[in-house]
Structure 1
């Protein structure tokens, strides 16, 4: 920023200083012309007088001396005095302008936000020093005060406070953020509620609080698939001995996870909650803990065999029946590998919350893609089977027998 101000100062200095030098030069020319005019008038008077030639010569000599003296002494003194009088004023104006620009930019400009962004970028690359961390928190607080309608600064400040385990301050930041959010900003409000609940939970040394649990339930009413809210709501419900609710929360989270260590650990918590529920006299079926799995025999019709090439790509996928076109599970092979029995399962899920186990009925699709792209294109050959129960244990026969056209 300072370099930019210096670059701007150069034309500013030229603009302010030019009148000083220009005016002095003009005064010099003006005095010279006046002296020359007077010299010529008096010379003419001497020449036209009735004096003798000797007297005229004496007077002319005196006029010449006066003219030379005025040219060598009067003009430089005036130029020097004029420049000396105006130069300090011009310099003062330059300094005042630059200082005002800096102060106004610091007050109303974006320097605070720019510096905060620089520190955030630095924090993503390496650990900040203590001074840099304090500066970042100060600048985030200033940005939050100056831009109350922009919740991003409050959110970043709250997240950093939570990461530093300053949970009480983080809770205050998220609570203020929630108050400023309009009712129509439902997704943002749900996120703020979740972060506020987390901060309050850890600030209370991880002791279950019905008010915090209620806050999470409000967030889940807005965004039912919020993984962080589901996980924490399950923990609080378990601690409050509401085991049935804990199982339901964790069920939604478990179904959004691919098979792996995280899902296995969560499954242990679900089974423990089911045991406690049984001790309370309740019952729950955990059949859904068995991952959905479909076996599909994929083959080509005779017509498709004639047009397909051995190296063409074949995509086999399952998607929600009468739902989102997002694939729930995908397998990729080639025409040369057909016919073949493949398995579609939750392990092949492409997005959180979009797994085979979550949808009771699905559509099975097999497509030969000459371009190698998963998106259907005219000229591709395809087979389709629907609806299919996601836990049906039979081997489904799926034949690729229809060529897609531009309107299909």
Structure 2
């Protein structure tokens, strides 16, 4: 923004120069006018002096007339051209001064009305890669505040809130997205999902209505199918859960990293029903990493069960922002976590998009994913790694490299 205001200031100075140059010339004309008045005064004194010498007999009539003519010629020579410049100054000084005073105020007011300072600032802000989920969320919040009619902005803000387990805020964001873009099936599914987790996984009529509407418009709407399966499983309706999840698996692409997790849910539901199953032995989906996170024994007395634990993958060589993240608590440790492309916060930043990634687990009592008390980091590994990784939180955060 400094560059913008410097350019605007320079242009303003150029415009003021065109207005103030005549005023400066007017000052010169004023000086000429003052000099003319002095010459007239001297001329009058010279006439009085000649008249006195004539009366004293020092000058005769001819000499008196000659002296008067000489003084008149000197006065005319000194005042030649002054009359035109003084008339110009009298007529052209007030308007340039008023214009010079009003131009900055008028220009600022017109730019405030028709300008795009907010859009310019927003473009400059989004040009830089965000360093954390919190920074990206702050940018999205600023974006929807300046442009509340952006359905895309509200959608991605809702996704960011969900990644930070702020389901209530996400529900509000998805509702606003629906209000702007209309009742699109995908938005309805995301809204219902946010409401479900915001309500402590208690199903209600509003969620049912939203998912019904979404699936009526699009029978393959994946968020609604997945959510209905989760809700049915949590309520012990395992047959219904299997039905929803099988519909979901049928519409997902073969390379989708979430297929394996959904298939695992189907197998667990069948086990709960007592149905024999044969788990498919399939390789890990591209862009999916599985890591077991545990806390070093020496730190057991230095943490609290409610402390947040952020487990994320980031590019070994690339943007510092996490590619995928999950949030737990110390009470959940040890825990096995899957990180995949489906957890990506931004479409262009996925685990499968980088050859090597690093796994990080951080304990943060304040709930800040970018800074905390204790951390564990893995060595860089291939993003296609299928083996279970081990990650131990054992180092003070400020000492970790």
* TM-score (norm. length: structure 1): 0.49
Structure (1 or 2) with the larger CA radius of gyration: 1
* TM-score (norm. length: structure 2): 0.50
